[in-house]
Amino acid sequence: MADTKQRPWIAGIVDTLVGAHVLMRTTIPHRNRLAVILIDSAFETACRAYASHVAKVKRDEAHRHRENIVKLVRGHLKDIDMEVWENINFYYTDIRNDLYHETASKTITDVVLLDYLDAVEFVINSAFNIGVAQLVTDVLGTVERALPAGAGPEAAAPRLPSLHELTEELDKVLVAVATVTPKSAADLNALFKRQGDSTRLKPKRFTDIVARNSGSKKFYFYSREDKAWKLSTLGMFRLGELQGGIKP
């Protein structure tokens, strides 16, 4: 469960997203279909919480309908590009509703799911001035540490790929970040040296790949708490693909 010190409405949103992440890590055939429903639930809950607790709007009967509450929130969060709202609306009307109400056997790709998750997290972050991906990661870590030895998701997860098994620089950097959670290029270069890999990153290259996500599809985020770089949700999925544990 999310930290009880959080605002209770934030904790509920985080726990819902944790549920989606847990599903995405399983081998359930329709895990993505189920996860997108949870992600959408977190988004709608976030919209209602924002209206009540941040904008402090007195809601009426009309706000029981999703389209009205989303329109209200959109009107307050004017800094968010309309494209983001249109993307979320597309995922809801064309994907989520179809998955939930019409086509139970339909599949959804990891790429589509992660695009939706990215858009929802962006709105939640903007609405509450938080880093929801980090909150979710923290809760997942707490849950896994509380499980008996051998029972956590990490116990069944494939090992990290060896750097020698990888040919692309971006993939080596991703595995290295997952291994050492670096503060700078020096931390990654030390790992490369220990493992006998010839890859070396200059500070500018480290900044381009990790800090600016150039060519790396937002695989990383900076943890202010740990003062280090870590894998984002997208990065974890790419790592899963490299491990062979998650197939597109």
- What residue numbers bound the domain in which 190 lies? 159-243
Residue after which a domain boundary falls, among 122, 146, 170: 146
**DSSP H helical segments within the chain, as ranges?**
8-24, 31-49, 66-76, 82-90, 97, 110-128, 132-146, 153-156, 169-180, 185-194, 203-206, 233-243
Residue 99: which of 9, 49, 34, 8 has the closest Cα?
Answer: 34
Residue after which a domain boundary falls, among 100, 120, 146: 146
Identify residue 125 by its one-letter amino acid code: N
Helices 185-194 and 169-180 meet at what angle, rounded to 10?
A: 100
Tell whether 138 and 165 lie within a shared domain. Answer: no
CATH number of the domain to which 212 belongs? 1.10.10
Tell whether 81 and 170 lie within a shared domain. Answer: no
Number of domains in the chain: 2
Tens digit of pLDDT per residue, the chain (248 long)?
454 456 888 999 999 999 998 888 887 777 888 888 899 999 999 999 999 999 998 877 777 888 899 999 999 999 999 988 988 888 877 665 554 444 544 567 777 788 888 889 999 999 999 989 889 888 887 877 765 555 554 444 446 778 888 889 999 999 999 888 899 999 999 989 888 889 999 999 999 999 887 666 688 888 877 788 988 877 877 887 787 644 33
Contact 133, 221 (CB under 8 A): yes
